[in-house]
């Protein structure tokens, strides 16, 4: 069974392994990692490894990862994160950063 956890964090974007709609280089950003996991408990080490793949260093996790409440994505304010949830299920991880 798969679970999607959200890890809120901040870090410096320095460039990652792949191209995506990333922030400008060497900028500090807050972001949320959506991570597909086989365990229903937070896996901080796996989250940090995935965050590095997205190109962030100097990472600070703001809180422990939490399993996403899928029903909450029906709320109009949270609906934009459906894409991140679906991306995590399909590809293993998705990251949303704040301007």
The residues, any chain, with a CB within 8 Å of residue 95's CB and separated by 6 or more, are: 20, 31, 32, 33, 34, 51, 54, 84
Structural domain boundaries, residue 87: 3-97
64 SS3 class: coil
Q: Can you give the pLDDT at residue 25?
A: 77
Over residues 36-69, the pLDDT tens digits come to 999 999 999 999 999 999 999 999 999 999 999 9
Once rounded to an integer, what is the mean pLDDT over residues 65-94? 95
**What total of structural domains would you count in the chain?**
1
Q: Can you give the pLDDT at residue 17?
A: 75
Q: Can you give the pLDDT at residue 62?
A: 96
Once rounded to an integer, what is the mean pLDDT over residues 59-87? 95
Q: Can you give the pLDDT at residue 57?
A: 94
Q: Can you give the pLDDT at residue 90?
A: 96
Residue 21 tokens read as 């709609």
């Amino acid at each position: 069974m798969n679970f999607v956890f959200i890890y809120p964090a901040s870090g410096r974007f320095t460039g990652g392994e792949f191209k995506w709609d990333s922030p400008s280089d060497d900028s500090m950003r807050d972001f949320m990692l959506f991570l597909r996991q086989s365990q229903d408990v937070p896996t901080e080490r796996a989250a940090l490894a995935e965050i590095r793949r997205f190109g962030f260093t100097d990472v600070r996790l703001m809180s422990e990862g939490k399993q996403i409440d899928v029903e909450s994505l029906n709320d109009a304010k949270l609906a934009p994160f459906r894409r991140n949830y679906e991306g995590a299920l399909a590809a293993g991880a998705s990251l949303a950063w704040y301007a």
